[in-house]
Amino acid sequence: MNLEDLNKTQLLLLTVLVNFVTSIAVGVLTVSLLDQAPPTITQTVNRIVDHTVETIASSTPIQAIIPAPQQPQTVVIHDEDLLTAALAANSSRTVTLYIRSTSTPAIAIGTYLPKARAVATATAVELPREAIVVFADGSSAPASLSKPGASITIYGFSDTAKLPKVAVPLLIAKADLKQGQSVLAVGQGGSALTGIVSKIDDTIHTSLTNVSVGSAAVNSSGNIIGIALDSTGTFATADKINILLNATSTPSQ
């Protein structure tokens, strides 16, 4: 076959093959000549190779070899994110009480206290001794009136009752509250309400309106500051919840 008969691809492959064979032949010849050369020539060649490697290494920046350490990222938490999380936590603890079953009208709104395995609600005449508690996730469990008080009533669950897992809140003492601080609650119909603490005496007065009686008011961290006594933003303090939960007998509230 003549070279004129080869196409471009065949010519390229032929060139690569010739270069490959030539490089092998040059390498073999170089090694053979170095083996036969005097020691001074071999040392000179080695010095040239070492100097070339050092020059290449010194011209490469260290930063190109070693990656720069990653800088720590700063996570910014906005007030809006805190309020949203607090409202979500409060909503997850808001429960509905029924007398016999969920097919009957609801009798009260309450606040689930997961650590105590209990529900706190505003005291009312029509509260039964036995109730069905429906949680925010749709599950339900029977509960019994365990500690009635003048303003707050506590329902408890049996030790075998299967209860949902929700964020465990702190009960904020009245002494730790300040006028003007943010307060959040669940409104009638499940709406989200935000306001401020306007006055603190035996109860907590807020700027909230249309509050669901028996639901909790929480701070911006989602911790409970009180239980709604009416729809105008008046709350029984969390201290009264603590007193009832820790009492061996039912104290007057």
Q: How confident is the model at residue 58 (pLDDT cuts 50, 70, 90)?
A: low
**Is the pLDDT confidence value at 65 over 60?**
no
Strand partners, 235: 204, 228
pLDDT band at 169 (very low <50, low <70, confident <90, very high): very high
- Residues 18-31 pLDDT 10s: 777 787 766 666 66
pLDDT at 75 over 60: no
Q: How far apart, in whole angstroms, are the C-alpha atoms of residue 7 and residue 246?
A: 97
Distance CA 226, CA 239 (A): 8
Structure tokens at 236: 């029984």
Q: For the chain, what is the radius of gyration of the CA atoms?
A: 40
- Give yes or no for residue 63 having a pLDDT over 70: no
As a whole-number percent, the residues of the chain with pLDDT over 70 amount to 73
Q: What is the pLDDT of residue 51?
A: 63
- The stretch 12-23 carries a mean pLDDT of 76
Domain boundaries, the chain: 3-65, 79-246
pLDDT confidence of residue 101: 79
The residue type found at 17 is L
Residues 6 or more apart in contact with residue 62 via CB below 8 angstroms = none
Query: Spelled out in words, what is the top-level CATH class assigned to the domain 79-246?
Result: mainly beta
pTM of the shown model = 0.67
Q: Convert the pLDDT of each residue in 198-240 to its tens digit.
A: 999 999 999 999 999 999 999 999 999 999 999 999 999 999 9
Secondary structure (H, E, C), the chain: CCHHHCCHHHHHHHHHHHHHHHHHHHHHHHHHHHHHCCHHHHHHHHHHHHHHHHHHHHHCCHHHHCCCCCCCCCCCCCHHHHHHHHHHHHHHCEEEEECCCCCCCCCEEEEEECCCCEEEEECCCCCCCEEEEECCCCCEEEEEEEEECCCEEEEECCCCCCCCCCCCCCECCHHHCCCCCEEEEEEHHHCEEEEEEEEECCEEEECCCCECCCCEEECCCCCEEEEECCCCCEEEEHHHHHHHHHCCCCCCC
Under 8 Å between Cβ of 162 and 186: no
Mean pLDDT of the chain: 84
Say yes or no to pLDDT of 68 above 80.
no
Q: How confident is the model at residue 55 (pLDDT cuts 50, 70, 90)?
A: low
